[in-house]
Amino acid sequence: MMFDWSSAGWGWMIFGGIFMVIFWCAIIGVIIWGIIHLTKKGQTASSVSSATNKTHYMEILKERYAKGEITKEEFDQMKKDLLS
């Protein structure tokens, strides 16, 4: 009795299909992870920049009040607006 080589290929084809699905799932997973990672990094940078801007604007506001350009009421209102 001879070995039938034509039927031996089906087993490898099934495993090849499974590995192909695993491969593409891994590729898509890495892409999604990269997008999420870059998005979180952007949010952190923008929140730091926002805090820096508030500090900068408070210094300008204090200088204007010290020079007498604005009244105490205006200073308090602007300060309240900046910090909220």
Do the Cβ atoms of 57 and 82 come closer than 8 Å?
A: yes
Residue 77 lies in a domain: yes
As for how many domains the chain has, the answer is: 1
At 77, list the tokens: 């209102």
Residue 4 lies in a domain: no
Output the pLDDT for position 66.
92
Output the pLDDT for position 40.
81
Residue 30 lies in a domain: no
58 contacts: CB under 8 Å, gap ≥ 6: 79, 82
Output the pLDDT for position 38.
85
Structural domain that includes position 57? 52-83
Output the pLDDT for position 76.
92
Output the pLDDT for position 7.
58
The residues of the chain scoring below 50 in pLDDT are 1
pTM of the model: 0.41
- Torsion angle in degrees (nearest 10) through CA of 14, 16, 17, 18: 90
